[in-house]
Amino acid sequence: MTRLDLYQLRSPLGPLLLVCHGERLVALDYDGFGDRLWHLLRARFGEIVPREAAGRPEATGRLEAYFAGDLGAIDEVQVETRGTTFQEEVWAALRRIPAGSTLTYGELAARLGRSGASRAVGRANGQNPVAIVVPCHRVVGARGVLTGYGGGLDRKRWLLAHEAPRTLTLR
C-alpha cells in the first residue's frame, strides 16, 4: 500500500491536482479528470492511500513560477512515473523538448531510434501521468496540427502559446 499526498494548485488553466510520493511528483492533472488520474495511479502503484497533505511540495512553487513566465522552472521537478521501459523512454524524451518547441509524433519516434513507432509514441504520450512537467503538450500531429491532449485542446493551445516565441503561429 502506497501513501500518496494530494495538493491543489490554482492555475491559469483552472485547478490542478498534484499527487506526490514524498517530494516526487507522481501525477498532475486537471480538475474534473480524477477518474483517469486514479486509474493511472492504481495501474502504477497498486493499492494506494491518498491523503490531503498540509504544506506545499517544491513542485507547486516551480509550477507557479512556470505560469508566471519562468518556463525553465519545471525542468528540475522530480517525478516518479513508474511506466513501462518504453513509456519511461518516451517521457524522458518529452522532458528534453525545450519550451517553445514542438515535435511531431514521428519526429519523437525517430529521435528515440524507433522510426515508424509514432503510434506507440502517441499511446505513451497519452498515458503520461504528469501533465505540463512531462510536457506531452509539446508533441503535435503531422504538419504541426494540434492533436489529442488529455486536458483538452484548448489547454494544449494555451500551454504552447504560453511557451511560444512571439513569432510562432499556432493552428
Would you name the residues annotated as active-site residues?
Answer: 136
Handedness of CA 29, 61, 132, 88 (dihedral sign): negative
- What is the distance between the alpha carbons of residues 30 and 142, in angstroms, rounded to a whole number? 26
Show the cell assigned to 50.
491518498
Task: Give the Å distances, CA to CA, from 51 to 2, 4, 158.
Answer: 11, 6, 30
| 127 neighbors 87 (Cβ within 8 angstroms) | yes
Secondary-structure percent of the chain, ordered helix, strand, coil, rounded to 5? 40, 20, 40
Nearest CA among 49, 55, 128, 60 for reference residue 91:
128
